[in-house]
Structure 1
Amino acid sequence: MSLTLAEARARAAALEVESYEIDLDLRDHAGATFGCRTVVTFTTDSPDTFLELTDATDLVVLVDGAEVPASYDGRRLHLTGLPTGVPVRVEVTASVPYVSDGDGMHRMTDPADGETYVSAYLSLDIAQRVFACFDQPDLKAEVSVSVSAPEAWTVIGNGRVLSQEPGRWAFATTPRICPSLLVVCAGPWHSVTWEHAGLPFGWHARASLAAELDRDIEELKHTTVDCYDHYAEIFDEPYPFDSYDQLFGPGHNWGAMETPGCVTYRDELLPRGRVTDDQRTRRATIIAHEMAHMWFGNLVTMRWWEDTWLNESFADYMGYRVAGAGAGFAHTLVAHEASRKPGAYDADLRRSTHPVAPLPDDVPDVDAAFGNFDSISYAKGNSCLRQLVTWLGDDAFLAGVNAHLTRHRFDNASLDDLVGSLDAASERDVAAWAEAWLRRPGFDTISVQRGEDGVPVLVREGDRPHRFTVAAYDARGVEVARRLVDVDAEPVPLAEWRGLVVVPNALGETFARLRLDAVSAGVVARRLSWFADPVTRSVLWARAFDDVRTGALDLDDYLALVGRHLARETHPALVTTVLDRTLGWVRARRAPAVRAADVGDLVAAACVEGLASGPEHRRPEPEVAHALVRGLASTTRDVDLLRAWLAAGRADEVDLDPSLRWAVVVRLARLDALDDSALEAERAADGSFAGDLGAARARAARPTAEAKSSAWEEMASPEVSNRLFEALASGLWDAERPDLCSPYVDAYLEQAPAIVGRRGQGFSLVVGRAFPGVQLSTAQRHRLADSLESDQVPSVLARLWNDHLDDLPA
């Protein structure tokens, strides 16, 4: 029953929606449902249409004040015989279920203090899980919200509070927004508020995270204000809403959601204990990303989901740009180039690849659209926009963007609209660029070739125009020159760099595979960690990830690269990325099962070397040491070392913050060195929601049939929360023990379709991302392929499973 493009177009052609008045009753927060009364006012050219509202009970429907029979199928409320050409007022009163999976009115009780929080997390096809609406992006309307809640709670919404009485909150009417941008967050939040530029601002978190919010509040305030002021400088359109709250909420399926007036974030972005520089930078880019959506997505909204990139690619690009240039976080590009861009290359090699900007008919329904919230729409789209800015020039880019935002403010727009504005602002052919870069999947290859004369030549395999920085290095990996080049059909000789190492795209301005000549590749293999620019090292590590994935680089050669350079890497984000990639995809997919232990041992040895001090090594910087300790904690077989860390509360010279302590506990459990009573003692000593999840992960990690069986039983429970499912899955799979995990690979393949069929899109993501991180047997691979051919797998899960099938080694 996913909404189709044809249905959405027909409904948008017939309807003009004026307003929603929404009244929510959250007082019975311990019950199964909450109360919702919605009044939607609209004009229609057709006497028949439908509203969406999912799993409602106690339904009462009034049309212009007169009760009518409810023609309702559990998802759609069919309206017939409506008056046409005049405003119609439809009032729907219902009870709607709370959820524990992040899709709808999510409810969570905090084990730290017993307090309950409920938050409306919406996205595609999810607004209807909270209120009756026309759930599509091109039917925007003004929204007014009132909420009844326990008197001790604070309620936060899209607008300023108009009135507040004990247990009753009313919010200012929003400008025209689409239904999925509604937000309501209610509970005993800990809040810090202030004013800036004439607007109220605030940060909010669960009461049990008050100390963490207070610890970070000055940085969070400065990041928010600096990003806000930077957007005010580069965008002509002012911030379009009347307040700016930000909230760390439990149970979020996304990293964050850009709901106007109140952005919501996963509360894992407010970690307990140490906040590393890498975490701080990533958080700042997310803050800047969500703020960009106030213009790209909220002020100007796509008509249909084929233009998801207009939201996400722009916000992703702006997030890294503004966190760096506006909020002062250095090296934001390192995280993008090292960890996110490689995922986009991976995605572009799978059968599910698609253009950054597909045609409308290529996104026939919302379930298909949901699959496009992927690395293509985010990281590749970001990379394409960075190439556009490099190719077009920043002044022309911003001039076109500003014209687009002003022309379509509080309305809907498409790729063609944006391209028209950019074309008008530049002498370059932006339409042709968009056709080459945005309308077609795949990527070009930029190779360095060298003839007998030793002159390096840049050669393009493909047909897209590229402009990027190329850099030259000596045999020690020391940069000696760089320049900006345009590479089109004709090769580009670099005669002045005869005999030098050449790295194209050294600053990552374009999106293309890199192939180095033998001279350059040899020096990179030996001297990668000596290259001074961390962005260039990120580009070169991404090249290695791509090469080992495709088989262009042998597994042993890749592991030799890790063994040689991980210990000497000085940027914490790169250390983390190499660890994650090696212990994740490479160990589970590229290495044969019999080599999985070797991969872990090699990484452990590299981490030990990186943490060592002596004539050959300097002490690593604290941020790098923290990343190396985390890598060692997840790979070492030295039980005595891990126990000593727990006893001391320190590893090497790094304090064990709660997250790092749980990493040690999970590793001891995986080594069968902690029994149930010890795990329970750790859980009780922690006493938090994160501690409960850490204990669940550790229990699932124990290498016994009983532990694996118990973990799967919890995962398959109908009421399991999204966070608990994630934690259990991360412990369950063990790449070094595929035989122990094999029965639960079978159970996962058999039962996952029914699990997600009960829970919906967001939980489909959770289940799909929990795909077994072990080598599958031949029979299991066939079972996976057969399931996907049977059409019994829900579409969102099928997309993820097909991607995993493509990632399995041949």
Structure 2
Amino acid sequence: MSLTLAEARARAAHVSDVAYEIDLDLSDHEGETFGSRTTVTFTTTEPSTFLELTDARDLAVSVDGRPVEAAYDGRRVGLVDLPVGTPVRVRVEARVPYVSDGDGMHRMTDPVDGETYVSAYLSLDIAQRVFACFDQPDLKATMAVGVSADPRWSVIGNGRVDALEGGRWRFATTPRLCPSLFVVCAGPWHSVTWEHAGLPFGWHARASLAAELDRDAAELQRTTTDCFDHFATLFDEAYPFDSYDQLFGPGHNWGAMETPGCVTYRDELLPRGRVTDDQRSRRATVIAHEMAHMWFGNLVTMRWWEDTWLNESFADYMGYRVAADGAGFPGTLVVHEATRKPAAYVADERRSTHPVAPLATDVPDVDAAFTNFDSISYAKGSSCLRQLVTWLGDEDFLAGVNAHLTRHRFDNATLDDLVGALDDASPRDVRGWAEVWLRRTGFDTIEVRRRTDDVPVLVRDGERPHRFSVSAFDDRGALVGTRVVDLEADPVPLPDWVGLAVVPNSHGESFVRLRLDPHSARVVAERLGSVGDDLVRTVLWAHAFDEVRTGASSTSAFLDLVSRHLPVERHPALVAAVLDRALGPVLTRSTPAAEAGALLDRVARACGEGLEATSDEEVRVALTRGLAATSRDADRLRGWLEDGRTDHGIDLDPGLRWSTVARLAALGDLDESAIEAERQRDQSFAGDLGAARALAARPTAEAKAAAWATMSAPDVSNRVFEACAHGLWDPERVALCTPYVDAYLADSPALCAHRGQGFSLVVGRNAFPALALSDAQRDRLASALASGDVPPVLARFWNDHLDDLT
């Protein structure tokens, strides 16, 4: 069982003044386990408490130097007869398993050069898979860390290296951190380092990615220092730690993790081959997001997991803002409005929705908290904060934020603490705003109506105050004007825009659903591609996503938009977003299996027409990726592989090449030997994953059976499981996949119960059958959930899928 709110509150009430001395022995990196020795110093007002340490072997515990027989259930180390009111030193020694699923001390051997890397990727309830600790956010502690490793290796952690001799590393003691922010990454890393603002900085990656890191080093360094300097203009509190390393790590379950001193990223963010402007912009946003956590999450930490949003919503908002304003990546909001925000609208209409800021009692344990790391806590929360800044004004917002950070530095805080600071800094009623925006679920609808004299009128259906841009267009899609309006209970007429098409929330400042009047809807349908402003076009595409998802518009109407306007779309991130939506939820959730092929053909035609129409290299790359995923012209695709470039002159980078291989495999045009030849040609970890996906994509019963056998292996890695799932599901050949839909529903609960939260995330979110499910399969899904035998994290994702299906 995961830690409960009641247990955490009780423990925090009697435990204080915690400090850790952590010693890890990673020298036997080929064995099953690593050595973990932790000395925890603390004061308690109760004679008994417990530490957490999962799956420990050869456990030995001592209290103030005296060996004790501690009760241990595989997760909790029971401590009794402790001295009360004076510091006590508890020492816990054990061997702890390495993992391959990204939850704990993750170990990976690189197929390129045979080198091994071990990294502690932590999160909720995961610190205890590395060292003995009080695994909750409000028991912050200093950490003095030592690591023994292969003398050839580099070891990177939360602080500067104080001493190094013969593979023995000693790091500077950290300020007070919660256990989930611990990090150690060990291996033969390739590194690029520099100094800035009196601090050491670095970027690190696997040795086999040295060329890619060197290729991007100047940009990564510039982005880091630009973001760092921009945060210094926003926040009064200086950066609170003694170093700033960043590392691309294999096997990461998250996009990144904000561990102070060494931020870790999925190494897919360091792609081989071409790096597009869209990828650079997205990566810069993630860099800024993680840096924002140094203040929101690391300097000031939530007290319990109900305030996840205090970390994630702020980091999300600041990530887009600072990447654009500080690091020089304009247009970052296009990605937010086109991808993440639409997902938040979907999440907010599921049964699993929750307030951006729920009550602590609504998050009764850590498993429940894990499920709140979702589109509500990230994208909706970020959108609400953007609305708050628009409504409040930037000066008052930053004044309140800075007062909050200073007041609670290296401590824990709550929503009430932040709202109080903002309320003090502003004449507006921030507490009232927070009640309707952060404490309640759902969102308002803004409708455009017409008076009899053809004057457009904005009407709110809901309860929240809004401030947003509204834009008017003529019948050719040309912008006539934009203004900012405040909309509450009273409708807002726009008499000087009589007869024009009107788009409320045109720059996306608020979190609302749009309902356009027939005239505005007709102009959008006909002229969407003519709208000049990228952000306005993005809002309108997102509106189209919402219309088809909710049934307000048909799939056919959405595909008409794609056919008409995708070929002339000029923003590569928006091209990618439209393709992701069409080939994702529209294909797998809104399209009957019998019509899946026709949808793919229409998307392929739109991509082909776009390639003929545009000379923009970035747009051509995005359209080529869409064509590689949808084309039926096997001769054409084989020609790409033979030439190493497309017939439109786009070089095949490794990612695009593997997408082409997967499509040919799905068409039945590549057999196992041809896929193996491609894997041998690549000989990288990414190549292994590309081959796993392609093998699973082949349209034969034998290939699907082999893929499921690989996914069912007890030690399958998170990445291989995900790659096989991406190939296994085929929306055009549902009958071929039916046995494995049934197997997935039957076997996943036990798999997730055994492998834990991070693997559950992969199984439930990334590997759910991406095809039309039958009524019987939906019923089977509902029955499994009703049984109560599905682990909490998987149950959350399955309930969400069930809502989307029904």
Q: TM-score, normalised by structure 1?
A: 0.99
1:72 equivalent in alignment to 2:69: no
Aligned pairs for 1:747-758 within 5 A: 747-758=743-754
1:566 equivalent in alignment to 2:566: yes
The alignment partner of 1:634 has SS state of helix
**Which residue does 2:454 correspond to in 1?**
454
Which residue of 687, 694, 710 corresponds with 2:690? 694
Count of residues paired in the alignment:
804
Q: Is the 8 A contact 1:54 1:76 kept in 2?
A: yes
**Which residue does 1:708 correspond to in 2?**
704
1:645 equivalent in alignment to 2:640: yes
The CA distance in 2 between the partners of 1:529 and 1:22, in whole Å, is 58
The CA distance in 2 between the partners of 1:22 and 1:410, in whole Å, is 20
The CA distance in 2 between the partners of 1:85 and 1:308, in whole Å, is 32
The CA distance in 2 between the partners of 1:779 and 1:463, in whole Å, is 40
**Which residue does 1:52 correspond to in 2?**
52
**Which residue does 1:624 correspond to in 2?**
619
Q: Is the 8 A contact 1:59 1:70 kept in 2?
A: no
1:173 equivalent in alignment to 2:173: yes
Displaced runs of 4 or more, over 6 A: none
2:499 maps to a residue whose letter is: G
1:46 maps to a residue whose letter is: E
Alpha-carbon offset, residue 312 of structure 1: 0.1
**Which residue does 1:505 correspond to in 2?**
505
Q: Is the 8 A contact 1:334 1:573 kept in 2?
A: yes
1:775 maps to a residue whose letter is: A
Alpha-carbon offset, residue 774 of structure 1: 1.0
Q: Is the 8 A contact 2:478 2:530 kept in 1?
A: yes
The alignment partner of 1:72 has SS state of coil
Which residue of 799, 802, 806 corresponds with 1:802? 799
Q: Is the 8 A contact 1:610 1:620 kept in 2?
A: no
Alpha-carbon offset, residue 17 of structure 1: 3.5
2:358 maps to a residue whose letter is: P
The CA distance in 1 between the partners of 2:731 and 2:403, in whole Å, is 52
The alignment partner of 2:782 has SS state of helix
Q: Which runs of 5+ in 1 are unaligned?
A: none
**Which residue does 1:548 correspond to in 2?**
548
Q: Is the 8 A contact 2:18 2:139 kept in 1?
A: no
Alpha-carbon offset, residue 778 of structure 1: 1.3
Question: 1:307-331: per-residue Cα shift (whole Å, max 9, x none)?
Answer: 0000000000000000000000010
Alpha-carbon offset, residue 224 of structure 1: 0.1
Question: 1:250-293: per-residue Cα shift (whole Å, max 9, x none)?
Answer: 00000000000000000000000001111110000000000000
The alignment partner of 1:482 has SS state of strand
2:629 maps to a residue whose letter is: S
**Which residue does 1:309 correspond to in 2?**
309
**Which residue does 1:114 correspond to in 2?**
114
Question: 1:16-71: per-residue Cα shift (whole Å, max 9, x none)?
Answer: 03310000000000000000100000000111100000000000000000000021
The CA distance in 1 between the partners of 2:733 and 2:266, in whole Å, is 32
The CA distance in 1 between the partners of 2:627 and 2:137, in whole Å, is 47
The CA distance in 1 between the partners of 2:14 and 2:682, in whole Å, is 56
1:767 equivalent in alignment to 2:741: no
2:365 maps to a residue whose letter is: D
Identity %: 73
Aligned pairs for 1:346-495 within 5 A: 346-495=346-495
1:689 maps to a residue whose letter is: F
2:86 maps to a residue whose letter is: V
The CA distance in 2 between the partners of 1:157 and 1:150, in whole Å, is 16
The alignment partner of 1:679 has SS state of helix
Alpha-carbon offset, residue 100 of structure 1: 0.2
Alpha-carbon offset, residue 219 of structure 1: 0.3
**Which residue does 1:145 correspond to in 2?**
145
Alpha-carbon offset, residue 297 of structure 1: 0.2
The alignment partner of 2:90 has SS state of strand
Alpha-carbon offset, residue 185 of structure 1: 0.1
The CA distance in 1 between the partners of 2:63 and 2:282, in whole Å, is 48
Alpha-carbon offset, residue 451 of structure 1: 1.7
Q: Which runs of 5+ in 2 are unaligned?
A: none
The CA distance in 1 between the partners of 2:245 and 2:166, in whole Å, is 21
**Which residue does 2:607 correspond to in 1?**
607
**Which residue does 1:670 correspond to in 2?**
666
Alpha-carbon offset, residue 775 of structure 1: 1.0
Question: 1:399-433: per-residue Cα shift (whole Å, max 9, x none)?
Answer: 00000000000000000000000000000000000
Alpha-carbon offset, residue 480 of structure 1: 1.0
The CA distance in 1 between the partners of 2:582 and 2:237, in whole Å, is 44
Alpha-carbon offset, residue 452 of structure 1: 1.4
Q: Is the 8 A contact 2:470 2:503 kept in 1?
A: yes
1:239 equivalent in alignment to 2:236: no
RMSD, aligned α-carbons: 0.5
**Which residue does 1:135 correspond to in 2?**
135
Q: Is the 8 A contact 2:317 2:383 kept in 1?
A: yes
The CA distance in 2 between the partners of 1:779 and 1:678, in whole Å, is 37
**Which residue does 1:788 correspond to in 2?**
785
Q: Is the 8 A contact 1:449 1:459 kept in 2?
A: yes
**Which residue does 1:300 correspond to in 2?**
300
2:751 maps to a residue whose letter is: I
**Which residue does 1:532 correspond to in 2?**
532
The CA distance in 2 between the partners of 1:93 and 1:256, in whole Å, is 30
Q: Is the 8 A contact 1:570 1:620 kept in 2?
A: no
The CA distance in 2 between the partners of 1:84 and 1:136, in whole Å, is 21
The CA distance in 1 between the partners of 2:675 and 2:354, in whole Å, is 45
The CA distance in 2 between the partners of 1:620 and 1:498, in whole Å, is 38
Which residue of 763, 776, 780 corresponds with 1:779? 776
1:792 maps to a residue whose letter is: D
Question: 1:426-467: per-residue Cα shift (whole Å, max 9, x none)?
Answer: 000000000000000000000100021000000000010000
Q: TM-score, normalised by structure 2?
A: 0.99
Q: Is the 8 A contact 2:387 2:510 kept in 1?
A: yes
**Which residue does 1:660 correspond to in 2?**
656
The CA distance in 1 between the partners of 2:396 and 2:80, in whole Å, is 50
1:710 maps to a residue whose letter is: A
Q: Is the 8 A contact 1:356 1:381 kept in 2?
A: yes
Q: Is the 8 A contact 2:304 2:360 kept in 1?
A: yes
The CA distance in 1 between the partners of 2:712 and 2:49, in whole Å, is 38
